[in-house]
């Protein structure tokens, strides 16, 4: 999704803006640009990667500027549609993340009043509205302009001769990085980590006036205080650290992520008020990979807490009114900025339903909407494909279920032992990946694949398929193993490999039967199975052998193996692993 950055200080803005944009590339974009003022505004923008723009653009002098990576929604990716956008005079430049719903109407009015437009974007109405209302006070003009606007936005406004940037947000992420005689603005924290680890988070409806020497936040014209936060993420967290791709680095960070996330809760004796309340059932909502974590959560929580759990896609929840009597809601979102989840959370809060959110991003919009927030400790996840954030979400779900469990003490003691062993088991998967790499090379030659699992590993089949399709562009379907014969069998043959997740639980025998059925239709089978499983060796064409352990934790090791399988398959196919086509890290539009 779009990313915005701003700089004002003692230094030349151009290189800082370009560096901040490079740090935001992971969000996904099709074009980029910057505007810098040294008394007059100069804009450079194009359908290019940030690196290419950096090497081809002229030097622009100036100590204040704004920048943007665009992910097209209104108007094709083109030089003219790229941000920043200007008013008629060329004295006001704006970058915007979000969607202006009433832009057509505003544009018609502005055109009738004599404004001329050059792009097809919704954003371009903003500089023109500010121009219309500007009578010497920029912040007031921005505030008045935004009163006309319906939709979501995080904006930065640069004026040619003003020693300040004006920022505002509504339903789109924006942080202000606090420096020494300089300040930064960005859509998210990794963009500014090279310069500062201090940040302010604006509330929806706030207007920020950001100068070199100070930041003032106002609401309805009145000054308000916004607390400064120390960012715990380091510069190294947001760098590749010697790995070829962020995704590989992030996969390898998982033993640490498991330890940190669990350590946080066990040491701080964290509590989840939602679970303390006398809820009769739980509704979990999420999107994409987080939705798969939610599905695993259903198995764990129903098993250990004995309450009914319903899992819904946040994007679907927005179209019907679920019955919520006695229900508590749990939202799961890595970024905390996914538009579908924010909308669903607001809807639930609006009808009085308590919502606990599990998120990875401190100060994110989701954490502000929720009645309670539990943070995962994954660190910044840069690759578009979610890996370590998924594992961290599972850890919080295990912790929640175990903390409020109604299971007997013996079962819980076994689980505590099992969960403590997880970092080492994941490390074993990472250390023994030769077989996975071999299978990936084989898989890379196909254009379709099925992933099958049962029980708690059915969601892992969905997640394995999602990972493979999003980064390798192989069409992959996740399927409950028992469902194959209800339709998908029609597709099976020697040209469609089936990746089968075989767990040592009550699904085991049924899974072996399903694998026999698949083999009988000529499809090659790659099985994920525990070490010592002799039966599977006889059945599958190849076996990815994984460490033994309590089956309730098998989703974790199985997922790590499937992440590696997807990663190496995509690498064999020469795909742009960290930034797959058409995808964005944080999906801030519906």
My answer on whether omega of the bond before 84 falls inside 30° of 0, hence cis, is yes
> Quick one: 404 exposed, middle or buried, by C-beta within 10 A (0-12, 13-18, 19+)?
middle
Tell me which stretch binds ligand M6R (CB under 6 A): 267-275, 283-291, 418-426, 500-508: 283-291
User: Active site residue: 48, 347, 467, 585, which one?
Assistant: 585
Number of residues that bind ligand M6R (CB under 6 A): 16
Annotation says 2 is catalytic: yes
Query: Does 290 help bind ligand M6R (rule: CB under 6 A)?
Result: yes
Surface-to-core class of residue 39, CB atoms within 10 Å of its CB (0-12 exposed, 13-18 middle, 19+ buried): exposed
Binding of ligand M6R by 84 (CB under 6 A): no
Q: Which stretch binds ligand M6R (CB under 6 A): 37-45, 99-107, 186-194, 284-292?
A: 284-292
**CA 53 to each of CA 5, 14, 41, 376: distance values in angstroms, whole numbers, following the listed order:** 16, 11, 18, 35
Q: Binding mask 341-370 vs ligand M6R (x if CB under 6 A, - otherwise)?
A: x-----------------------------
Helix (H) or strand (E) holding 429: helix 409-431
Residues 6+ apart with CB under 8 A from 397: 293, 296, 297, 300, 301, 358
In the chain, the largest separation of any two C-alpha atoms, in whole Å, equals 80
Residue closer to ligand M6R (CB basis): 385 or 452:
385
Beta strands 198-201; 175-178: pairing state:
antiparallel
Binder of ligand M6R out of 3, 28, 173, 288 (CB under 6 A): 288
Which is closer to ligand M6R, CB of 333 or CB of 391? 333
What stretches of 259-364 adopt beta strand conformation (E)? Answer: 281-286, 309-313, 327-333, 355-359
Please report how close the Cβ of residue 346 comes to ligand M6R at its closest, in angstroms.
15
Clarify whether 32 is annotated catalytic.
Answer: no
Q: Which stretch binds ligand M6R (CB under 6 A): 119-127, 164-172, 189-197, 384-392?
A: 384-392
Report the alpha-carbon distance of residue 449 to residue 467 in Å, rounded.
Answer: 12
What is the nearest approach in angstroms of ligand M6R to the Cβ of residue 106? 30
Please, what is the minimum distance in Å from the beta carbon of residue 186 to ligand M6R? 17
- Pick between residue 341 and residue 546 the one whose CB is nearest to ligand M6R: 341
Q: Which two tokens stand for residue 490?
A: 């029609």
Q: Where are the beta strands (DSSP E) in 473-568?
A: 475-480, 498-501, 525-530, 542-546
Q: Judged by CB, which is closer to ligand M6R: 122, or 470?
A: 470
- For residue 19, give both structure tokens: 């560096």
14 binds ligand M6R (CB under 6 A): no
The 568-587 site mask, x for binding ligand M6R (CB under 6 A), equals ------------------xx
Q: What is the number of the residue whose Cβ is closest to ligand M6R?
A: 288
Distance from C-alpha of 327 to C-alpha of 309, rounded to nearest angstrom: 9
Rounded to the nearest whole angstrom, what is the least distance from the CB of residue 366 to ligand M6R in the complex?
8
Choose the catalytic residue: 2, 20, 32, 44: 2
- The torsion angles phi and psi of 349, rounded to 5 degrees, stand at -65, -35
Collapsing DSSP to helix, strand or coil, 332 comes out as: strand
54-83 residues near ligand M6R, rule: CB under 6 A: none
Helix, strand, coil in percent for the chain, rounding step 5: 40, 25, 35
Q: Which residues contact 435 (CB under 8 A, 6 or more apart)?
A: 542, 543, 544, 545
> Angle, to 10 degrees, between the axis of helix 409-431 and the axis of helix 554-572?
20
Contact region for ligand M6R (CB under 6 A) — 126-134, 380-388, 448-456, 490-498?
380-388
Instruction: For the CB of residue 549, give the shortest distance to ligand M6R in the complex, in Å.
Output: 25
Q: 103 or 451: whose CB is closer to ligand M6R?
A: 451
Residues 266, 268: Cα–Cα separation, whole Å: 6
Is the Cβ–Cβ distance between 35 and 158 less than 8 Å?
A: yes
The end-to-end CA distance of the chain, in Å, is: 12
Binds ligand M6R by CB under 6 A, chosen from 187, 254, 261, 289: 289
The residue among 315 and 545 lying less far from ligand M6R, judged by its C-beta, is 315
Binds ligand M6R by CB under 6 A, chosen from 54, 172, 187, 338:
338
* Binding pattern for the stretch 455-494 against ligand M6R, x by CB under 6 A and - elsewhere: -----------x---x------------------------
CB atoms under 10 Å from CB of 236, counted, come to 10
Which residue, 124 or 340, has its beta carbon nearer to ligand M6R?
340
Which two three-digit tokens encode residue 336?
């905390």
Does 563 bind ligand M6R (CB under 6 A)? Our answer is: no
- Shortest distance in whole angstroms from residue 587 CB to ligand M6R: 5
Q: Using the rule CB under 6 A, is 333 a contact of ligand M6R?
A: yes
State which residue, 128 or 585, has the beta carbon closest to ligand M6R.
585
Q: Give the range of 81-89, 332-340, 481-489, 549-557 binding ligand M6R by CB under 6 A.
A: 332-340
Residue with the two structure tokens 């502000």 = 368
CB of 556 to ligand M6R, least distance (A): 16
Residue with tokens 């209800």: 486
Q: Are strands 498-501 and 525-530 parallel, antiparallel or unpaired?
A: parallel
User: Which is nearer to ligand M6R, 126 or 577 (by Cβ)?
Assistant: 577
Rule CB under 6 A: is residue 334 a binding residue for ligand M6R?
yes
| Residues carrying an active site annotation | 2, 585
Residue ranges binding ligand M6R (CB under 6 A): 287-290, 333-335, 338, 341, 384-386, 466, 470, 586-587
């Amino acid at each position: 999704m779009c990313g915005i950055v701003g700089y004002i200080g003692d230094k030349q803005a151009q290189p800082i803006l370009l560096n901040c944009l490079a740090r935001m590339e992971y969000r996904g974009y099709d074009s980029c640009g910057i505007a810098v003022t040294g008394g007059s505004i100069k804009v450079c923008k194009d359908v290019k990667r940030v690196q290419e723009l950096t090497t081809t653009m002229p030097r622009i002098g100036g100590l204040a500027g704004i920048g943007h990576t665009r992910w097209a929604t209104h108007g094709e990716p083109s030089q003219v549609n790229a941000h920043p956008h200007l008013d008629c005079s060329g004295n006001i430049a704006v970058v915007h993340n979000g969607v202006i719903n009433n832009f057509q109407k505003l544009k018609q009015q502005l055109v009738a009043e004599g404004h001329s437009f050059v792009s097809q974007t919704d954003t371009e109405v903003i500089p023109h509205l500010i121009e219309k209302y500007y009578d010497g006070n920029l912040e007031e003009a921005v505030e008045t302009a935004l009163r006309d606007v319906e939709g979501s936005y995080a904006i930065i406004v640069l004026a040619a001769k003003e020693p300040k940037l004006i920022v505002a947000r509504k339903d789109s992420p924006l942080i202000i990085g606090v420096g020494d005689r300089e300040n930064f603005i960005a859509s998210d924290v990794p963009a500014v980590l090279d310069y500062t680890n201090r940040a302010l988070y604006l509330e929806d409806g706030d207007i920020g006036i950001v100068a070199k020497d100070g930041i003032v936040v106002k609401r309805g014209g009145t000054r308000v205080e916004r607390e400064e936060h120390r960012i715990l993420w380091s510069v190294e967290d947001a760098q590749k650290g010697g790995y070829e791709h962020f995704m590989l680095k992030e996969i390898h960070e998982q033993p640490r992520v498991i330890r940190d996330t669990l350590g946080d809760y066990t040491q701080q004796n964290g509590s989840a008020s939602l679970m303390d309340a006398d809820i009769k059932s739980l509704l979990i909502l999420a999107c994409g990979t987080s939705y798969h974590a939610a599905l695993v959560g259903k198995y764990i929580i129903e098993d250990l807490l004995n309450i009914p759990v319903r899992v819904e896609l946040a994007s679907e929840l927005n179209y019907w009114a679920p019955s919520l009597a006695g229900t508590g809601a749990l939202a799961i979102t890595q970024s905390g900025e996914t538009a579908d989840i924010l909308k669903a959370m607001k809807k639930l809060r609006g009808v009085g339903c308590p919502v606990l959110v599990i998120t990875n991003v401190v100060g994110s919009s989701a954490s502000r909407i929720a009645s309670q927030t539990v943070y995962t400790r994954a660190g910044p996840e840069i690759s578009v494909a979610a890996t370590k954030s998924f594992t961290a979400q599972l850890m919080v779900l295990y912790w929640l279920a175990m903390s409020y469990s109604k299971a007997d003490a013996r079962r819980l003691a076994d689980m505590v032992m099992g969960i403590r062993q997880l970092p080492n088991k994941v490390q074993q998967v990472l250390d023994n990946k030769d077989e996975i790499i071999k299978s990936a090379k084989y898989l890379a030659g196909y254009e379709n694949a099925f992933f099958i699992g049962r029980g708690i590993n059915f969601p892992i089949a969905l997640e394995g398929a999602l990972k493979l399709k999003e980064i390798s562009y192989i069409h992959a379907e996740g399927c409950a193993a028992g469902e194959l014969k209800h339709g998908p069998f029609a597709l099976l043959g020697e040209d469609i490999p089936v990746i089968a997740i075989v767990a040592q639980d009550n699904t085991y025998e049924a899974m072996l039967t399903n694998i026999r059925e698949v083999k009988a239709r000529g499809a090659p089978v790659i099985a994920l199975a525990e070490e010592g499983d002799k039966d599977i060796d006889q059945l599958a064409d190849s076996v990815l052998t994984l460490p033994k352990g309590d089956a309730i934790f098998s989703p974790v090791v199985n997922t790590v193996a499937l992440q590696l399988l997807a990663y190496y398959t995509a690498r064999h196919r020469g795909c742009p692993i960290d930034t797959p086509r058409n995808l964005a890290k944080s999906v801030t539009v519906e």
